[in-house]
Structure 1
Amino acid sequence: MPAIVGAIKINSIGNSSVMNVGDVFQIAPVSTAKTFAGAGSFNTGNGLRIFNNQSVTNSYDVDTIDSVNIGNA
């Protein structure tokens, strides 16, 4: 089924990013990363008003492997 896409706004695309508009069968990452950030860190948009009175980020992680991308080309 064809996709109907309205207006989109792209500010930037990173080096290892994937951008797709419309129909797609499969998108697979070739790299993974773990990022820790506090509340309101990745909010994007025009005219945002964010109020975070307290923000605590727990970065303690005992896992050795979180994301596996073996076999993605």
Structure 2
Amino acid sequence: MPAIVGIAQVVSLGNSAVFHIGDVYSINPISNAKTFSGAGSFNTGDGLTIYNNQSATNTYDQDGIDQGNYFNA
């Protein structure tokens, strides 16, 4: 069914955001990211007590090229 759209104001879009108005067959946002985090980085909750006396995160990437997101459909 066709869509009738009035005024649309876009303030900002993120890196892998999709802005969609009307009919669409397929929406495929594609993005990739590499995340390095140390001990206790993604802990959530109330009243956490975390003891990281010595923590080191190895961020050395010896291969240089990671798997891409080619041919994602």
Q: TM-score, normalization: structure 1?
A: 0.49
Larger CA Rg, structure 1 vs 2: 2
Give the TM-score normalised by structure 2.
Answer: 0.49
